[in-house]
Amino acid sequence: MSAGSRKESGSDKNRKMSRRDLFKGVFNKVRGNKAPERESSGLDPDMAYADRLIRQGEYEKAAHLYSRRLKKEPRHLEAMRSMGYCHFMQGDYSRAREAWEKLLGFRPRDNFALLYTGLACARQGDVHEALENWKLYYDIRKPAVQRAINLFLARQERGEELDAREMADSVQEALEKQKDV
């Protein structure tokens, strides 16, 4: 599913979400949405352990636990988000995109998934799809990241030819700076 078709499907009211994910989404909005490397996915001991594995850099083991959770609860949005992050950190951008595309099917405006799907696209050399995802991304709490993305969007509008690697490096550098803030 491309970013453009997600924009159109965002108003679909037939999508179902578990009460747990609804509550967690509202709670995250109130306290500020944090990235998977810093956040716990819930009370489930396996999920808490998987989150700890991410913080320790054990992405393969964590992805396995998230995958098991998704077999039990296929609409577990936090598990989708975190599993995609694990694949991304291992350099498996295709599998990361699959996880986030599925998540975006349920939550078309999920900032984390939009940001990192764009990064994965850029890492794979797909400038157009990276920018399509980033057009939908907006997070005022991450001004350095937003500024980097806006710069590339403006350059695209001017008709400049963009380098996917430069885009990915710049946005990831902004993410690292933003973590320090």
Q: Are 59 and 89 within 8 A, CB to CB?
A: yes
Torsion angle, alpha carbons of 133, 105, 108, 21, to 10: -130
Residue 27 maps to a domain = yes
Which residues are within 8 A (CB) of 54 and not within 5 positions of it... i.e. 6 or more apart? 36, 37, 62, 82, 85, 86
Query: Per-residue confidence at 11, pLDDT binned at 50, 70, 90?
Result: very low
The percent of residues above 70 in pLDDT, for the chain, comes to: 75
Q: Does 147 lie in the same domain as 132? A: yes
Domain boundary among 92, 108, 124: 108
In order, the DSSP letters of 12-73 are -TT----HHHHHHHHHHHHH----TTT----S-HHHHHHHHHHHTT-HHHHHHHHHHHHHH-
Residue 57 maps to a domain = yes
Q: Does 180 lie in the same domain as 98? A: no
Report whether pLDDT(84) > 60.
Answer: yes
In order, the DSSP letters of 78-143 are HHHHHHHHHHHHTT-HHHHHHHHHHHHHH-TT-HHHHHHHHHHHHHTT-HHHHHHHHHH---TT-H
The region of weakest confidence among 35-44, 80-89, 102-111, 130-139 is 35-44
Residue 6 maps to a domain = no
The identity of residue 46, as a single letter, is D
Report whether pLDDT(15) > 70.
Answer: no
Q: Does 127 lie in the same domain as 54? A: no
CA-CA distance, 118 to 153, in Å (whole number)?
12
Q: Does 172 lie in the same domain as 131? A: yes
Average pLDDT over every residue of 110-138: 97
Structural domain for 30, as ranges: 18-108
Residue 2 maps to a domain = no
